[in-house]
Structure 1
Amino acid sequence: MIRAWIPSRLLKPGVNRIVIVARDSSRERDDSRPYGFPWPGSSGVVYDAVQFRHEPNMELTQPEVNVLPFYRNSAGGLMQEFDVRIPIRPGDSSLQVSLEVGGQIWREKRTLEHTFGEALFLGRVAEFKQGSPATLTVEREGRGSETWRFALNPARKWKLLVMPNAHLDVGYTDYAAKVSEVQARSIDRLIEITRQRPEFRFTLDGFWIVEEFLHGRRPESVEAFIKLARSGNIAIPACYGSTFTGFASLENLVRSIYPSARFAREHGLPLTFSLNTDVPSYSWSYASVLASAGVSNFLAASDAYRGPLLLYNQLNERSPTWWEGPDGGRVLTWWSRHYHQAGSLFSFPLNLTAGRESLPRFLQAYDHPHRTTDVALIYGTQVENVDIHAGQADLVGLWNREYAYPELQYGGFGEAMEMMRRLEPDPSKFPVTRGDTGPYWEDGLGANAKATSGHRSNMVRILSAEVLGAAALSTGSGFKPDIRTLEAAWQRLLLTDEHSWHADCSVREPHSHQSLRQGDEKDARVQEASRMIDALLSRSMSALSDSISVPAGTLVVFNTLSWDRDGWVEHDINRGSRVVDLSTGKPVPMEAIGEGRQIQRVRFLAAGVPAAGYRCYAIRPGPAPVRAPEPLVGNMAESPFYRLIIDPATGNIRSLYDKQAERELIATNSGHSFAQALYVSGGDSLPNRLVQFSSVTPVPELQMHRPVAISPAILLKSELGVELRGAFRWRKSPGTRCESDCLIMPGVSKLSITSRRNRLFRRRRFTWPSLCPWILLVFGGPHKTDGLTRSGI
């Protein structure tokens, strides 16, 4: 908080204009700019609020003496810097200030330029001991002097480990291919810089950068890069990129380490750390994944613009902490307030005055009695996808020439964390953090729900492809899984997990080339992975089916899970054919969901498919084609387990009654219908508090739009049971269509509710007002279960 006393004599009745100005030092360049701040130069003001208070009986505060964290070398030893802040009283024209501490006296006299506020004096004395007696004397010209006595403690002698880094977005700022070249040029520049500055270190922001460099550079450049990686000048993280860890499956998180681990093994490189920067997404299981892979250090460099992860706790202040996963595995973690800390502190082009002004506030977070070492990390120098600024290689040398402490030293992240371990007398005493705070800012998933749904399906299907490939390999038929296609599919999955889902202008300009093409690139990765997985599955199932003694043309349904399960199957059959379960010899209930000239697409429920096994079905001639669902008279459908009542005009479910539990399942007083799709507008006007974490930006005026029925909802009866079908649109977005289905099966005590949209952008929400304490929601199809969710969402 900044306080300024404004004498009432300077104000007049009515409107007063008060201007706040931040002045740069005249001897510093003014073309530098701290990253993340909207002004050039080394000074500026960011504030949440301005408050004025009238204090008629106000007494000016006493002077303040602040010991600064700066030491300088001198012929007689270390000199400790401090500042003195003296309130200016009416009539003051000059001040003489003296400070006596540790047997030495510092004095300064100054003619005042201002008539109110504070006078700031900077001084230095030889370093002194803890609790040294101090005397401050202030003499005001013509008004006598005042004296204060107190004890002073010296500042810590900080060692700050600077870890240069430029953030990686695979997209966002530009097309991924162009980003690839920008990042490759950065490595080219690093090779040049380290020839002149062998002490310089740089931490890459993901292994994808390495992969792209290997693909896009000549052998001599690759050889130079590997040499720098071996020497520690370039630090390579275990992660493929910064990942939506809450979205990625557990296996995806494990697989994200495979590419870097293979490269490290081939070239004899250490793999000691991973990181996740910018979007704060730190799923609890990730700690266990890293620890089990032998990765001992983790960096969480958070962007608080949208996800204030580190603003509500003391993880940054307590860093490093042991982050303990669900299985007890631990990684030593540094929680950085953001990912371009050095750039924000020192600016680029380099500005030492900016660093001097900002370091005291930065170090406040770590200057507490529980901290046993005087070491802290400054992570990151530049924002996403920019050319390397050569000035960062000069920072340490220029600073250390001016100051003895804080002492700056370059380090790769893994190297820096190992130093933290060595300097701590007992590393096991570092604080332990368990759990996580949720996957903040993974809203890209909602912005492209079609790709999200497809990727969720891919994450599960690729595991089935591996299981079936391994099973087919075990038959001894000579089959060999297609590892090359499998690895290519995994690469697409890892790039889909990566946190860049749209262009930086996608909210403001959703129809720009950048927005559309970058969205297409994300979609393409999902589609390419899906096609590759289809090929892997088809080949493996063909090899497995050949080892099963069944007649030609038998439909074999595989279950790759470790428990018995039911599952929907869609299959094309000749018109007039039936699907027969070979274990019972009976036809299975089906319904036609599509028609061709000579075929029908049918769906049926494959019930009780054994764990890690299969069930076989024959396609045999039947008495007649499978009938499509037929309309049911009335607005009610029943099974032995449920009773469903609908409102035909709106298509909403009016009642869903559980006969066994003897209870209504739908909350009819919530104001929303069950499985109702809502369109929400008003959030696109920026800035607003919905998009940005802030206490001062406007609260958006959100409006909720309920859909209107395109045609009356109907109940349809088929061999499978009774199904509700409805189609809706919104007047606010007439091109958007939503379809909802609810299927009640006669012999099964469960029901299936499906909602689909033709346009999958933000602002659409589904409501599930329920009287049940828990609902099991399955997102993206029957493959991916995201778990139990409290009702009423």
Structure 2
Amino acid sequence: MSGINTLNIKIIEPTVFFIKEKEKLLQVVDMSIENAEEPLKAGVEVNISSQRRCTNIDIVKQGEGKYRVYVPDVGEPTSAEFSLLANGKVQDRKRIAWKPQKHWQVYLAHYSHHDLGYTDLPTDVLREYDGFYDEILRFCEETKDWPDESKFRYVIEQFWSVKHFIENRPKEIVDKLIKYIREGRVELTALFGNQTTELCGHEELIRLMYPSFDLKRKYGIKICSAGLNDIPGLSWGLATVLPGAGVKYFTAGIPAWYFRRNEKRVHPFWDERKVLPLDIPGVFRWEGIDGAQVLFWYNMHGVGELYLWNYSEALSEITNTLSLLEEQNYPFNFVLYTVRGGMRDNAPPSLRLSRIIREWNDKWAYPRLRTATYSDFFEQLEKYRDTLPVFRGELPNTDYTVGATCTAKETGINRNTHDQLGSAEKFATMAAVVSEYLYPSEKINYAYINTFYYDLHVHGGILRIIGPAQDGGLSEKKGFAYRAAALSHDILSKSLNRIVDEIELKDSGCHIVEFNPLSKKRTDVVRVPFSAHLPCGQRMYNIEMEHPYLLPVQP
């Protein structure tokens, strides 16, 4: 019919968008129409699956233009006939194959990527996060009466920031944070930080959850998920320790750019044909060496996040994102993406996302956007758990294990401390049993916290190649390793000395007491220094009393 009429249908483009009209869903379709004559009024009639609908177009301008029409929603593949009407007759008609469009649910998790020392000196980053949490509490309060989908929600990516906040805010402020965690408006995840997990021993992997679980026990809150972000590699041990602690869900923000060079794929840590494509998010069950499983959500860091600064940008970004998912045969009609409050690591929270979602959902029936926590999303995924593939094994790290060698001495010291701390804890337990030695639980925890800080994935600040800022940041990072080593030595030497004090020797003179911290017998060369290293803390005792006692001071 084209060629003899004024108007021609050039392109019919179904979109991911739906509106609701009198409780009926209508899919939005963009149609390109060519008008060879003067502007005129027109209409488009659609016949699909025994349903008919007409969309009026006020004015079709001269030339080729794009116009929006609405098609009744269908649940099965079929065909659709589009008739272009003007001047009382059919100007053009096209019949095309029609595929049902998913009703998308997009879960948007607002968070800040934790990178201690990357954007400022570590001590200053900690203080900056204190202010972030003040804002988070304010945003939760401000949006309490908003529609549920747009209420402010937040995911605490790693525990170290909230640890500092809790230690530096009054009880009433901490209680307010706990209130929002209980309500599901803020989610506390399990791990202490974004660790280079290959640097961690098995004990450290487990203890990465101690601080968050202390808070869980104290306040009766839930911890269901964990995550690591911006790290192109993961220790297989996580697949055992997470479910072992009751953590069922894991998000891995893997930076996909590590696997590209000039748009060419290089050394990805899994076979995309057998596991998942690297360009879109996905899920599988990650099975540990003991057979335990955790739901593993692959969420691309940086490349796979959504940067939503206003409604207009969100419209384009989400359209392109969902189109890519459909091109790659993503299997679900719901998906999770993370959103930052600003264009950097350690970014502050923002109400921008909640405002965009509120405006969006006022206009569209689908895709439906909602602020979300990781657990909100995983509750949907849980329904499909038994259908998901199972994979076992290590995800080899391609970057931060190498980065750790830029402070090689301190990396070696911290790895030795991992072993020494285990021994120190064993002997401290024995000393507390056989003597009046006070078990140093706080000091042991503090020592572990310092090993955690050193094993974080950051090794220097952004774009700081040289200069005082870089030197200051690396100095603080190295200090964590030295402090952990000093504390470990302090615990070990004092506990051994107290055990030795309880040993009765029949013969006088010098004696060497040998201790084996292993669970099995060992024969090896014993090296004894002529002068032992002193512990870092020296206690004071009042010796003027008949019964000396420990003074409540320690230099």
TM-score band by shorter chain is 0.7 to 0.9
1:71 maps onto 2:23 in alignment? no
- Which of 352, 358, 380 is 1:397 aligned to? 358
- Which of 97, 100, 112 is 2:63 aligned to? 112
Note the 1:165-564 alignment, pairs <5 A.
165-198=111-144, 199-306=151-258, 313=272, 314=276, 319-338=282-301, 343-344=306-307, 347-348=308-309, 351-364=310-323, 366-367=325-326, 373-382=332-341, 383-421=344-382, 424=383, 426-442=384-400, 443-474=402-433, 476-506=434-464, 509-510=465-466, 512-546=467-501, 547=503, 549=505, 552-564=509-521
Provide the C-alpha distance between the structure 1 equivalents of 2:430 and 2:119, rounded to a whole number of angstroms: 44
Q: Which runs of 5+ in 2 are unaligned?
A: 1-8, 145-150, 261-267, 534-555
Provide the C-alpha distance between the structure 2 equivalents of 1:169 and 1:69, rounded to a whole number of angstroms: 36
100-109 or 403-412, larger mean C-alpha shift:
100-109
Identity of aligned residues (%): 22
Count of residues in Structure 1 that have an aligned counterpart in Structure 2: 494
**3-state SS of 1:558 partner:** coil
Provide the C-alpha distance between the structure 1 equivalents of 2:128 and 2:120, rounded to a whole number of angstroms: 10
Note the 1:44-83 alignment, pairs <5 A.
64-75=11-22, 77-83=24-30
Root-mean-square deviation over aligned CA pairs: 3.3
495-504 or 63-72, larger mean C-alpha shift:
63-72
Provide the C-alpha distance between the structure 2 equivalents of 1:393 and 1:418, rounded to a whole number of angstroms: 21
Higher helix share: 2
In structure 2, the CA distance between the partners of 1:122 and 1:283, relative to structure 1 (3 Å rule), is: farther
Give the Å deviation of 1:216: 1.9
306-315 or 525-534, larger mean C-alpha shift:
306-315
393-402 or 265-274, larger mean C-alpha shift:
393-402
**3-state SS of 2:258 partner:** coil
- Is the radius of gyration larger for structure 1 or structure 2? 1
In structure 2, the CA distance between the partners of 1:477 and 1:216, relative to structure 1 (3 Å rule), is: closer
Give the Å deviation of 1:528: 0.7
**3-state SS of 1:489 partner:** helix
TM-score, with normalisation over the residues of structure 2? 0.80
Higher strand share: 1
Provide the C-alpha distance between the structure 2 equivalents of 1:538 and 1:107, rounded to a whole number of angstroms: 85
In structure 2, the CA distance between the partners of 1:450 and 1:360, relative to structure 1 (3 Å rule), is: same
Give the Å deviation of 1:218: 2.4
Amino acid at match of 1:542: N
Give the Å deviation of 1:372: 6.3
**3-state SS of 1:183 partner:** helix
Q: Is the CA contact (8 Å cut-off) linking 1:163 and 1:201 kept in structure 2?
A: yes
Deviations 1:410-445 (A, max 9, x none): 222123212332xx2x53222323223212321320
Provide the C-alpha distance between the structure 2 equivalents of 1:358 and 1:99, rounded to a whole number of angstroms: 30
Deviations 1:447-494 (A, max 9, x none): 1111111111111111111222233344x2333432222111011011
Provide the C-alpha distance between the structure 2 equivalents of 1:290 and 1:340, rounded to a whole number of angstroms: 26
Q: Is the CA contact (8 Å cut-off) linking 1:278 and 1:301 kept in structure 2?
A: yes
Give the Å deviation of 1:307: 5.2
Give the Å deviation of 1:527: 0.6
Q: Is the CA contact (8 Å cut-off) linking 1:160 and 1:406 kept in structure 2?
A: yes
- Larger relative contact order, structure 1 or 2 (CA cutoff 8 Å, min sep 6): 2
Q: Is the CA contact (8 Å cut-off) linking 1:310 and 1:337 kept in structure 2?
A: no
Q: Is the CA contact (8 Å cut-off) linking 2:435 and 2:499 kept in structure 1?
A: no
Give the Å deviation of 1:289: 0.6
Q: Is the CA contact (8 Å cut-off) linking 1:490 and 1:529 kept in structure 2?
A: yes
Provide the C-alpha distance between the structure 1 equivalents of 2:63 and 2:472, rounded to a whole number of angstroms: 61
Provide the C-alpha distance between the structure 2 equivalents of 1:360 and 1:431, rounded to a whole number of angstroms: 28
In structure 2, the CA distance between the partners of 1:248 and 1:561, relative to structure 1 (3 Å rule), is: same
In structure 2, the CA distance between the partners of 1:246 and 1:92, relative to structure 1 (3 Å rule), is: farther
Deviations 1:633-655 (A, max 9, x none): xxxxxxxxxxxxxxxxxxxxxxx
Q: Which runs of 5+ in 1 are unaligned?
A: 1-61, 114-118, 574-598, 602-793
Q: Is the CA contact (8 Å cut-off) linking 1:182 and 1:386 kept in structure 2?
A: no
Deviations 1:340-378 (A, max 9, x none): 86642xx22xx2222222223322454489866422112
- Which of 100, 103, 108 is 1:157 aligned to? 103
Runs of 4+ aligned residues of structure 1 deviating over 6 Å after TM superposition are 91-97, 368-372
**3-state SS of 1:264 partner:** helix
In structure 2, the CA distance between the partners of 1:225 and 1:123, relative to structure 1 (3 Å rule), is: same
**3-state SS of 2:366 partner:** coil
In structure 2, the CA distance between the partners of 1:376 and 1:554, relative to structure 1 (3 Å rule), is: same
Amino acid at match of 2:234: Y
Provide the C-alpha distance between the structure 1 equivalents of 2:178 and 2:121, rounded to a whole number of angstroms: 27
Amino acid at match of 2:125: V
Provide the C-alpha distance between the structure 1 equivalents of 2:525 and 2:120, rounded to a whole number of angstroms: 41
Structure-2 residue corresponding to 1:630: none
Structure-1 residue corresponding to 2:545: none
Provide the C-alpha distance between the structure 2 equivalents of 1:329 and 1:311, rounded to a whole number of angstroms: 20
TM-score, with normalisation over the residues of structure 1? 0.57
Deviations 1:302-329 (A, max 9, x none): 2223356689631675733222111111
Provide the C-alpha distance between the structure 2 equivalents of 1:251 and 1:330, rounded to a whole number of angstroms: 19
